[in-house]
Amino acid sequence: MAVTATMVKTLREKTGAGMMDCKKALAETNGDLEAAVDWLRKKGLSAASKKAGRVAAEGRVVAVAQGRRAALLEVNLETDFASRNEQFVLFSDTLAKLLLEKAPVDLEALQALPYPGTGRNVGEELTQQIATIGENMLIRRFKLAEVPEGRVATYIHMGGKIGVLVSLATPAGDDPALEELGKKLAMHVAAAAPQSLDRNDVPAEVLARERAILSEQAKASGKPQAIIDKMVEGRLGKFYAENCLVEQAFVMDPEQKVSQVVAAAAKVVGKPIQVVGFTRFVLGEGIEAKKQDFAQEVAQQLG
């Protein structure tokens, strides 16, 4: 019996198994849907669908760089223990390299890419990994960065808990001082968590909200409006210094701003250097992990 795309789609929706696995199951069972479900269960490939609702807030942030280009990726699963599993580490490292090589436009395009050496695409390999490792997994987000001239620096903190990209535009090329600057700036971003690159990068709505709050605070002083306006602008300066990367105090030398550190490095290499972008991923950020005591978990498993 010929296996149709509709049959594969139906089996995939029913089991959560990968497309190629569903196609093979239907071929092995002569198109019998229920027999194909059993075939997948025996192979352990339908288990992934049962795990899909479980919270995946652990995992790894991975970075890979190649001169002017770099990729940052977050892949999640359920437990910190499993995040150190060799198979999971290999999977996430392979995805990061694939990102840098193929530069997909979004997560959907990434999942459609062929996964090396398997005959499956990335989405199908993810399903395979879920079934094998035994935890729900999620390819959550990625960022690709490239500069026409310069370097994209990377930094991974605490084995994948925080990941950073910093883009430096400069004709300095492969100067070792540029590499050192990029590493230090990436470490700074990991520690200081800037929200914007510079004043022009602050979203208008964020600035308007901050200005409104500061205005209300200044009005409580009872001073004339002209003085209040100056107070607001002065306090906005502090806001920029805390939230804009180039205006932040450099974590390795708080006496200097990041912009001053960059200017000093430019003098060393003899070429202009500009920080043109950054990305900071914190593992599991925004994912609400379920909290459940051990006794309750055991009771559920026995019930």
Query: Is residue 183 a part of any domain in this protein?
Result: no
**CATH number for 141:** 3.30.479.20
Q: How far apart are CA 104 and CA 294, in angstroms?
A: 41
Query: Is residue 267 a part of any domain in this protein?
Result: no
Query: Is residue 191 a part of any domain in this protein?
Result: no
Q: What is the pLDDT at residue 292?
A: 47
Query: Is residue 95 a part of any domain in this protein?
Result: yes
Query: Is residue 115 a part of any domain in this protein?
Result: yes
Residue 124 and residue 59 share a domain: yes
Residue 116 and residue 64 share a domain: yes
Angle at the Cα of 263 from the Cα atoms of 248 and 181, rounded to 5 degrees: 75
Q: What is the pLDDT at residue 132?
A: 85
Instruction: Spell out the long-range contacts of 270-274 with Cβ–Cβ below 8 A and sequence spacing 24 or more.
Output: 270/172, 271/170, 271/171, 271/172, 271/175, 272/170, 272/171, 273/150, 273/168, 273/169, 273/170, 273/172, 273/178, 273/181, 274/168, 274/169, 274/170
Q: Would you give per-residue pLDDT tens digits along the chain (303 residues)?
A: 789 988 988 887 777 677 778 888 899 999 998 888 888 777 666 655 566 667 788 999 999 999 899 999 999 999 999 999 999 999 999 999 999 999 999 999 999 999 999 999 999 999 889 888 888 899 999 999 999 999 999 999 999 999 999 999 999 878 899 999 999 999 999 999 999 999 999 999 999 999 999 998 898 888 888 998 899 999 999 999 999 999 999 999 999 999 999 999 999 999 999 999 999 999 999 886 544 454 554 444 444
- Write down the residue that tokens 């492969």 correspond to: 174
Query: Is residue 81 a part of any domain in this protein?
Result: yes
* Nearest to 210, CA basis, from 245, 247, 238, 189: 238
pTM of the model: 0.79
- Write down the residue that tokens 């001073």 correspond to: 223
Q: What is the pLDDT at residue 38?
A: 81
Residue 12 and residue 38 share a domain: yes
Task: Report strand pairing: 162-169 vs 150-157.
Answer: antiparallel
Q: What is the pLDDT at residue 45?
A: 63
Residue 140 and residue 98 share a domain: yes
Q: By the 8 A CB rule, do 198 and 247 touch?
A: yes
Query: Is residue 157 a part of any domain in this protein?
Result: no
Q: How far apart are CA 96 and CA 155, in angstroms?
A: 14
Q: By the 8 A CB rule, do 36 and 25 touch?
A: yes
**CATH number for 13:** 1.10.8.10
- Write down the residue that tokens 């459940």 correspond to: 292
Q: How far apart are CA 20 and CA 287, in angstroms?
A: 31
Mark which of 146, 166, 198 sits at the end of a domain: 146
Name the token pair of 78.
């359920």
229 Cβ neighbours under 8 A, 6+ residues apart: none
Type of residue found at 53: G
Residue 114 and residue 76 share a domain: yes
Q: What is the pLDDT at residue 146?
A: 97
Mark which of 102, 123, 146 sits at the end of a domain: 146
Q: By the 8 A CB rule, do 202 and 241 touch?
A: no
How many domains does the chain fold into?
Answer: 2
Q: Domain residues for 39?
A: 5-46
Name the token pair of 101.
């090589």
Q: What is the pLDDT at residue 302?
A: 44
Task: Report strand pairing: 249-250 vs 138-146.
Answer: unpaired
Query: Is residue 178 a part of any domain in this protein?
Result: no
Residue 93 and residue 69 share a domain: yes
Q: What is the pLDDT at residue 51?
A: 64
Q: How far apart are CA 44 and CA 131, in angstroms?
A: 6
